[in-house]
């Protein structure tokens, strides 16, 4: 089970990394704009800091997913409503984060292609 969570977390990290790289390429070389106001200030003033913050945040989110799944896996009574809802909420969150990052990457690539 841990292997599955690690692979899914690596997908989050990969998508976050692609988002970061395509954002930097777009802003630095194509005149694109970062839509997140807080990150726009950082990417326009210090690309290195932007890279560190973006990748560190992505890794933190991915590790949080792994840790949460491990905690839920080790609970003795997995049939309780709270546990079942927690597992579903975690799955929905994972899918949402991955979809959001995928959309960000596609958006960045479309801007770069123009």
Q: Indicate the DSSP class of residue 31.
A: -
In this structure, which long-range contacts are made by residues 57-62, counting pairs with CB atoms below 8 Å and at least 24 apart in sequence?
57/16, 58/12, 58/13, 58/15, 58/16, 58/17, 58/20, 58/101, 59/13, 59/16, 61/12, 61/16, 61/97, 62/9, 62/10, 62/12, 62/13, 62/16
pLDDT at residue 1, as a whole number: 60
Instruction: Give 6's contacts (C-beta < 8 A, 6+ positions apart).
Output: 66
Give mean pLDDT in consecutive 10-residue pieces for the chain, a chain of 114 residues. 82 96 94 92 94 96 92 84 90 93 95 90
Q: Indicate the DSSP class of residue 46.
A: -
The pTM assigned to this predicted structure is: 0.86
pLDDT at residue 60, as a whole number: 96
């Amino acid at each position: 089970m841990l292997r599955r969570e690690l692979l899914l977390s690596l997908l989050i990290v990969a998508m976050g990394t692609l988002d970061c790289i395509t954002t930097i390429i777009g802003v630095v070389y194509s005149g694109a704009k970062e839509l997140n106001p807080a990150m726009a200030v950082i990417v326009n003033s210090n690309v290195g800091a932007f890279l560190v913050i973006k990748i560190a945040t992505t890794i933190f989110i991915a590790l949080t997913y792994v840790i949460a799944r491990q905690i839920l896996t080790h609970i003795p009574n997995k049939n309780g409503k709270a546990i079942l809802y927690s597992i579903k909420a975690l799955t929905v969150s994972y899918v949402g984060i991955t979809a959001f990052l995928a959309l960000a990457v596609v958006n960045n690539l479309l801007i770069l292609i123009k």
